[in-house]
A = this chain, B = another copy of it.
Amino acid sequence: MIHLTRPSPTLKEVAARCGVSTATVSRVINRDRRISEETSKRVLQAVEDLGYSPNPFARGLKTNKSRTIGFIVPEFTNDFFMRIARGIESRLRQDGYTLVICNANENRNDEAARLDLLLDQGVDGVIVIPSSSRGAHLRAADARHVPLVLVDRVVEDYQTDAILVDNINGTYHAVEAALAKGHKRIGFIGGNMDLTSARERLAGYTRALEDYHIPFQDEYVFFGDFHQDSGYELMGQLLALAHPPECVFLSNVFMHLGAAKYLLEHQQAKRRVPELIGFDEMDFSSSLGFCTIMVRQPIEEIGKIAAETILDRIRGNHHPSRIQRLKTEIVQFDRKNK
């Protein structure tokens, strides 16, 4: 096989082509303003002509920067995580950064391994949606002076920047709205209690009940794992109670999906179907009339802010670590079909 194309041109060739030194070309490319307008133009023309683009390895070697950010998610096949990824990526792109997404398979070991890999690859910063509430292994980033920000959840044993939503108030307002509709018996299906987001949502629920003087009833509260099957399962358990709740809060969209599926499969004319409320859009559930109240998170915004936070750190801002809480919004649906 004959290669008709030459290897990528280097700085030297660009320099030779327009009779300046490599230093000058480098400066033009890096927008060093000391270079005269005129030479600048000549150099850029040569860059264009040769189709030059800087060798990322050589550049990285000198600058120790890769213009690359790592993003560790618990799981690839999760719409919520990937929408955050989209938010991050589109913001980073504006600044010429590339995002490297890794899958932690929802376990701490893989998370640690991915982080090490990313650090070894020379990323300039790391964004993590932690898979558990432990985060000591994340200090590896500090050791290399690579900034790290958490998204959606925080960890106990490691303090750093974090972008979260206001889970407590989000849940509070949803439950409050359900109470306002006259519901007295409100069930709660929680997520993996190892995760701060799950714990905060429970806190919002209990606080709302307290404030409205509704007794907290153990039998109305179940804990799943944020996956669809647990929503299905636990909805069944709630409906099997002597006095099933009139309304059930689902802590995330996957459990909501499971719950909705349970309701569909077990719909009986005589029995009253509980309303479903919970975090995130469940288009299916709402158009079926199950979902009446949802807590909407600004998902892409979370990603955007995470990206901006990490860029800020990379650019050397050394203010103390900060937790940013984004507001949620309550959306109500009519209960059609019922």
Interface string of A282-296 (1 = CB under 8 A from B): 011001100000000
Q: Is A117 an interface residue (CB 8 A)?
A: yes
Q: Is A39 an interface residue (CB 8 A)?
A: no
Find out whether the CB atom of B56 lies under 8 angstroms from the CB atom of A58. Answer: no
| Complexed CA–CA distance, A55 and B57 (Å) | 10
Find out whether the CB atom of A120 lies under 8 angstroms from the CB atom of B79. Answer: no
Q: Chain B contacts of A98 at CB under 8 A?
A: 100, 102, 117-118, 121
Q: Is A108 an interface residue (CB 8 A)?
A: no
| Complexed CA–CA distance, A5 and B68 (Å) | 22
Q: Chain B contacts of A59 at CB under 8 A?
A: 57
Q: Chain B contacts of A60 at CB under 8 A?
A: 56-57, 60
Stretch of A82-90, A160-168, A271-279 with 4 or more beta carbons under 8 angstroms from chain B: A82-90
Q: Chain B contacts of A264 at CB under 8 A?
A: 264, 288
Interface string of A38-54 (1 = CB under 8 A from B): 00000000000000011
Q: Chain B contacts of A198 at CB under 8 A?
A: none
Q: Chain B contacts of A144 at CB under 8 A?
A: 5, 8
Q: Is A318 an interface residue (CB 8 A)?
A: yes
Residue of B whose beta carbon sits closest to that of A284: B261
| Complexed CA–CA distance, A180 and B83 (Å) | 42
Q: Chain B contacts of A332 at CB under 8 A?
A: none
- Shortest distance from the beta carbon of A282 to any chain B beta carbon, whole Å: 12
Find out whether the CB atom of A121 lies under 8 angstroms from the CB atom of B68. Answer: yes
Residue of B whose beta carbon sits closest to that of A264: B288
Q: Chain B contacts of A135 at CB under 8 A?
A: none
Known: A61-B55, A100-B100. A77 touches B77 (CB 8 A): no
Interface string of A4-33 (1 = CB under 8 A from B): 010010000000000000000000000000
| Complexed CA–CA distance, A96 and B54 (Å) | 25
| Complexed CA–CA distance, A287 and B337 (Å) | 21
Picked from B56, B66, B143, the residue with its CB within 8 Å of the CB of A5 is B143
Q: Chain B contacts of A83 at CB under 8 A?
A: 76-77
| Complexed CA–CA distance, A253 and B117 (Å) | 34
| Complexed CA–CA distance, A45 and B122 (Å) | 23
- For residues 190 through 239 of chain A, which have their beta carbon under 8 Å from a beta carbon of chain B? none
Find out whether the CB atom of A56 lies under 8 angstroms from the CB atom of B101. Answer: no
Known: A100-B100, A145-B3. A66 touches B77 (CB 8 A): no
- For residues 274 through 318 of chain A, which have their beta carbon under 8 Å from a beta carbon of chain B? 283-284, 287-288, 318
| Complexed CA–CA distance, A53 and B115 (Å) | 14
Residue of B whose beta carbon sits closest to that of A61: B57
* A-B CB contact pairs (8 Å), 19 listed: A3-B145, A56-B57, A56-B66, A56-B121, A57-B58, A57-B122, A76-B82, A76-B85, A76-B86, A76-B89, A77-B83, A77-B86, A82-B82, A86-B103, A98-B102, A100-B101, A261-B283, A264-B264, A264-B288
Given contacts A56-B57, A57-B58, A57-B59, 15 further A-B contacts (CB under 8 A): A1-B318, A5-B142, A5-B143, A5-B145, A55-B61, A57-B66, A60-B60, A77-B82, A77-B86, A86-B103, A89-B102, A99-B100, A99-B101, A100-B101, A261-B287
Q: What 8 A-B pairs have minimum CB-CB distances, sorted nearest first?
A: A57-B60, A57-B61, A76-B82, A77-B82, A56-B122, A101-B101, A53-B120, A76-B86
